[in-house]
């Protein structure tokens, strides 16, 4: 009987223990999922950032990932988003995408000294404080895909990006910056001069037709992704100055005429560094439209353009002569023009003129 009672008590204790929430679950914001290493909140449509203050370091000492998405935060707090001087010393991934974020300040990310991956995708950022990532010296990736406010002018977007990448620590560990899908048309040439470690720059799905960057600030850049832009002539800095080992200029309206000959020769001579080659095609001129630039290895594009221009001039001259001829015939002026004699007739006239007059 005693053995049975002890066994029953043990089972009851185990059941009770299982029914009790863990310290992580007990401290978890409603409708979020929390464990020792991860806090994840999806599509809660919160307008207040109080949920961040619930993530206490003493409760989550081994926390590695914070992913809070699908809210309507607007302006993030100007002070530490985790409240007071609270710091998450082991968090390496911080995802606050899809939150309708409009701004953040210099100290907003004070509590993330070890974060390596920051995701700010699909927001409406229109302003930031001075050196907003100064408290994240370990960051390796910043992803701002569709993160900037659509209503900003191209010049303002360029200025905003430059402001974000200002920091006292010069981003020694920042390897990748992703600026895709922001309708960008320009960047400040010195945007990356404070990002000493950058090796990957992703600018896909924008509206660039040129790229004016200071190559002295991109000495470590190895990958440049310019897919889906408006580039007709690839800037010479890309293939003459930067030391890249991966280039993607696919899905651009490349004009395969004389101005592109040097680039196309470079691409064919060093084709292994180009990705998505089947989509790196000519948009013009018409005879080459749809062909990949890697099928033009032996093409003399400048000669082709010169020959075309010469034929065009000849056609214009012929057309002009024909127009004048028809105009003269239509007005009847052609019929009133005196006959044109050949050399033999002129000679006969000369002989007649020198014959002695009849006496």
Q: 327 with 206, same domain?
A: no
Q: 217 with 331, same domain?
A: no
Average pLDDT over residues 234-238: 96
Pick the closest to residue 120 from 111, 108, 130 (CA basis).
Answer: 108
The encoded tokens of residue 92 equal 């390496």
- In tens, the pLDDT along 84-133 reads 999 999 999 999 999 999 999 999 999 999 999 999 999 999 999 999 99
Q: 207 with 98, same domain?
A: yes
Of 155, 186, 221, the last residue of a domain is: 221
- In tens, the pLDDT along 289-305 reads 999 999 998 778 887 54
Say how many domains are in the chain: 2
Q: Is residue 304 part of a domain?
A: no
Q: Are 145 and 169 in contact (CB under 8 A)?
A: no
Q: Is residue 331 part of a domain?
A: yes
Q: Count of residues for the chain?
A: 359
Q: Is residue 149 part of a domain?
A: yes
- 244 phi and psi angles, rounded to 5 deg: -95, 150
- In tens, the pLDDT along 316-333 reads 676 665 666 566 666 666
Of 182, 200, 221, the last residue of a domain is: 221
Average pLDDT over residues 179-204: 97
- In tens, the pLDDT along 250-276 reads 999 999 999 999 999 999 999 999 999
d(CA 313, CA 125): 53
What Å distances lie between residue 235 and 54, 154, 182, CA to CA? Answer: 50, 20, 21
Q: Is residue 237 part of a domain?
A: no
Q: Is residue 144 part of a domain?
A: yes
Q: Is residue 252 part of a domain?
A: no
Query: Where is pLDDT greater, at 337 or 165?
Result: 165
Average pLDDT over residues 234-245: 97
Q: Is residue 101 part of a domain?
A: yes
Of 221, 239, 254, the last residue of a domain is: 221
51-56's contacts with Cβ under 8 Å and 24+ in sequence apart are: 52/81, 52/82, 52/83, 53/82, 53/83, 53/86, 54/27, 54/28, 54/29, 55/82, 55/88, 56/27, 56/86
Q: Are strands 33-34 and 38-42 parallel, antiparallel or unpaired?
A: antiparallel
Q: Is the peptide bond before 295 cis (omega within 30 degrees of 0)?
A: no
Max Cα distance, the chain (Å):
174
CATH number reported for the structural domain that contains residue 38 in this entry: 3.80.10.10
Residue 354 has pLDDT above 70, yes or no: no
Range of the domain at 321: 314-352
Q: Are 90 and 115 in contact (CB under 8 A)?
A: no
Cα of 299 vs its chain's centroid, Å: 30
At residue 66 the predicted structure's pLDDT band, cuts being 50, 70 and 90, is: very high
Q: Is residue 294 part of a domain?
A: no
HEC profile for 112-134? CCCCCEEECCCCCECEECCCCCC
Residue 340 has pLDDT above 80, yes or no: no
d(CA 234, CA 10): 74
pLDDT at 22 (0 to 100): 85
Average pLDDT over residues 172-178: 98
């Amino acid at each position: 009987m005693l053995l049975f009672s002890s066994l029953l008590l043990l089972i009851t204790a185990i059941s009770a223990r299982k029914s009790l929430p863990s310290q992580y679950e007990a401290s978890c914001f409603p409708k979020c999922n929390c464990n020792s290493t991860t806090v994840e909140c999806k599509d809660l449509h919160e307008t207040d950032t109080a949920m961040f203050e619930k993530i206490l370091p003493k409760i989550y000492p081994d926390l590695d990932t914070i992913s809070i998405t699908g809210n309507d935060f607007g302006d993030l707090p100007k002070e530490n988003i985790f409240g007071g001087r609270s710091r998450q010393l082991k968090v390496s991934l911080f995802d606050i995408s899809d939150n309708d974020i409009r701004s953040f300040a210099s100290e907003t990310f004070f509590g993330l000294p070890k974060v390596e991956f920051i995701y700010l995708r699909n927001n409406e950022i229109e302003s930031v404080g001075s050196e907003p990532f100064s408290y994240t010296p370990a960051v390796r990736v910043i992803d701002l895909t569709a993160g900037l406010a659509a209503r900003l002018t191209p010049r303002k977007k360029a200025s905003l990006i430059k402001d974000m990448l200002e920091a006292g620590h010069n981003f020694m560990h920042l390897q990748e910056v992703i600026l895709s899908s922001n309708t960008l048309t320009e960047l400040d040439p010195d945007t990356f001069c404070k990002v000493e470690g950058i090796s990957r720059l992703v600018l896909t799905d924008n509206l660039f037709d040129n790229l004016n960057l200071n190559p002295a600030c991109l000495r470590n850049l190895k990958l440049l992704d310019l897919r889906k832009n408006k580039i007709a002539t690839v800037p010479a800095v890309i293939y003459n100055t930067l030391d890249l080992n991966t280039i993607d200029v696919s899905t651009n309206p490349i004009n395969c005429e004389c101005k592109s000959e040097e680039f196309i020769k470079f691409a064919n001579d060093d084709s292994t560094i180009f990705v998505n080659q089947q989509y790196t095609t000519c948009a013009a001129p018409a005879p080459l439209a749809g062909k990949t630039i890697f099928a033009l290895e032996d093409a003399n594009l400048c000669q082709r353009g010169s020959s075309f221009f010469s034929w065009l001039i000849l056609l214009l001259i012929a057309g002009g002569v024909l127009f004048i001829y028809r105009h003269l015939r239509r007005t009847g002026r052609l019929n009133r023009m005196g006959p044109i004699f050949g050399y033999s007739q002129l000679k006969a006239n000369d002989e007649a003129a020198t014959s002695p007059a009849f006496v």
